[in-house]
Chains A and B, each alone.
Chain A
Amino acid sequence: AAGVIQSPRHLIKEKRETATLKCYPIPRHDTVYWYQQGPGQDPQFLISFYEKMQSDKGSIPDRFSAQQFSDYHSELNMSSLELGDSALYFCASSQGTIGEQYFGPGTRLTVT
């Protein structure tokens, strides 16, 4: 079965640079969530989109923005990167109100 696709899988950036993470949800899933997971921590919700509209917002820094496109893929844009942004970034998708969220393999972002 098709799963959530994330790219790139690994990304190394320097402080103050920008990064763009991409997420391709499972086919026919219309909701995308972004989570950030630090080492040894639980995933923390950043932002979500339903039918291309922002649906919920969590602890996402103002330096980050995201959107969902007409084909339902989503991009997380991160600017003025800080060392503390180093983490695993997961995208999850679900189908409408069914609620089951399926996670992608993640993007490991390292800021040096």
Chain B
Amino acid sequence: GDSVTQMEGPVTLSEEAFLTINCTYTATGYPSLFWYVQYPGEGLQLLLKATKADDKGSNKGFEATYRKETTSFHLEKGSVQVSDSAVYFCALISQGGSEKLVFGKGTKLTVNP
């Protein structure tokens, strides 16, 4: 079945450091890929998405590129801020597959000033 594997962390960085959170997937059908973010005490919110191979999703300085050849969708940000401290979830939905959003286990990011 569909699955997502992401580095579980936790990840601790200093402000202005470069961030990478790795995500790889296994899917039937033609998946769309997502990063969701959960700030402390809140529900998840969509950060960015990509719906086909080579698409780049971007939002709030975060980027991720849909790499079909490596089945990956790594999240990157060039300069993190304290306000980026949150849990980040990689997810996929496979049209023609289960059609339910499947999440990785999440990566907790802490950014120190």
A binds B: no
